Structures are given as structure tokens and as C-alpha cells.
């Protein structure tokens, strides 16, 4: 079994693997492969990958700084390859990313959205808030009816802060 050797900023060459991990999760909204390549080019400092022994990504977190709130990191997507789940990898990546982004961009809070049926994601962010002694506020950001493709769960905004990195 491959173990994570390193935590790294994504490169454009990682875009395809990140797209595959997102696709295989069967939970995340899968965006175009183009968007993951672009993300690796333009948002590399606010995103992170874990690499296996062969250097290929086995997990990722993508994020961006909110343009109107430069002290807030929005965590866009998190996924761990199925074979590597349940061992704290997502939590480790989230800690590493927020530590880096706090040092570089001075963020004080993170935001993400979670669908009510995603227990693992809820645990990941609740546990993150506990670990960092931060408060966690939840409110619906996008009601299901806003989505044009139908049958979408509401997206609940999790706002976590203050964080020191």
C-alpha cells in the first residue's frame, strides 16, 4: 500500500490526477478537467496535494482566498483516494494547507460548504475546528432549489475561526 511521502503544492501536471480522484470519489461535484489544470496553475499557493511513493497525488485540497474577504480561505474541494482514507490524511492536509496560507496570506478563518448527507466531511471540519480551538458556525449558503441540475442537496456553509495557522 502506498503511503504519503510528501505534502506539496500542486503543479499543472497534477491536474489530471486531481480530476481522477474527484471523479472516483463519486461524491464531489466533478468539474471539467480544464478547471483542475487551471486551478493548479492559478491557485497552487492555496491548494495542496499528498503524493504517494511514485510522486502521484493520492489526495488533495483545493482552495482560494475570498476576493472580498482576504483573511478568509475558502476550501473548495477535499478528496482522498479510497485506498488511503480513514487514517487522518485529510485532516493532515487541511492543517498543512491552513498553516501555509496563514503564514503567506495572513488568513484568520476558513469557509467551506458541506452537504447534510456527508458525515465524513462534517467530521473532518468539526474536528479541525476542535483541534484549532476555533468556533464553527453553520448556515445554509445555497438551497437545493438554486441548482439548475435538480436533486442537489443544500450546501451548508461552515465558517471556522479564528485560526492562528
The half-sphere exposure of 126 on its side-chain side, counting CA atoms within 13 A, is 8
Answer yes or no whether residue 133 interacts with ligand COA by CB under 6 A: no
List 37, 40, 90, 110, residue binding ligand COA (CB under 6 A) = 90
User: Which alpha helices (DSSP H) does the chain contain, by range?
Assistant: 15-25, 33-42, 89-105, 119-131
Site for ligand COA in 39-68 (CB under 6 A): none
Judged by CB under 6 A, does residue 28 bind ligand COA?
A: yes
- Residue 72 touches ligand COA, criterion: CB under 6 A: no
Residue 122: name the closest of 156, 80, 164, 163 by CA: 156
List the interface residues with ligand COA, window 102-121 (CB under 6 A). 118-121
79 touches ligand COA by CB under 6 A: yes
Q: How far is residue 129's CA from residue 135's CA, in Å, rounded to a whole number?
A: 6
Q: Specify the DSSP class assigned to residue 84.
A: G
User: Does 150 sit near ligand COA (CB under 6 A)?
Assistant: no
- Chain centroid to Cα 120, Å, comes to 13
Residues making contact with ligand COA (CB under 6 A): 25, 27-28, 77-80, 85-91, 118-121, 123-124, 127
Amino acid at each position: 500500500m502506498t503511503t504519503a511521502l510528501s505534502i506539496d503544492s500542486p503543479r499543472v501536471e497534477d491536474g489530471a490526477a486531481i480530476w481522477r480522484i474527484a471523479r472516483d470519489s463519486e461524491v464531489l461535484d466533478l468539474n471539467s478537467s480544464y478547471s483542475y489544470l487551471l486551478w493548479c496553475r492559478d491557485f497552487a499557493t492555496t491548494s495542496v496535494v499528498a503524493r504517494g511513493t511514485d510522486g502521484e497525488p493520492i489526495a488533495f485540497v483545493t482552495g482560494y482566498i475570498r476576493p472580498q474577504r482576504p483573511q478568509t480561505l475558502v476550501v473548495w474541494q477535499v478528496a482522498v483516494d479510497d485506498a488511503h482514507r480513514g487514517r487522518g490524511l485529510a485532516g493532515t492536509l487541511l492543517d498543512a494547507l491552513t498553516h501555509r496560507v496563514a503564514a503567506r496570506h495572513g488568513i484568520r478563518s476558513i469557509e467551506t460548504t458541506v452537504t447534510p448527507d456527508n458525515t465524513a466531511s462534517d467530521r473532518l471540519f468539526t474536528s479541525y475546528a476542535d483541534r484549532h480551538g476555533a468556533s464553527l458556525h453553520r448556515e445554509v449558503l445555497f438551497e437545493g432549489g438554486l441548482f439548475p441540475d435538480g436533486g442537489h442537496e443544500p450546501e451548508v456553509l461552515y465558517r471556522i475561526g479564528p485560526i492562528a495557522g
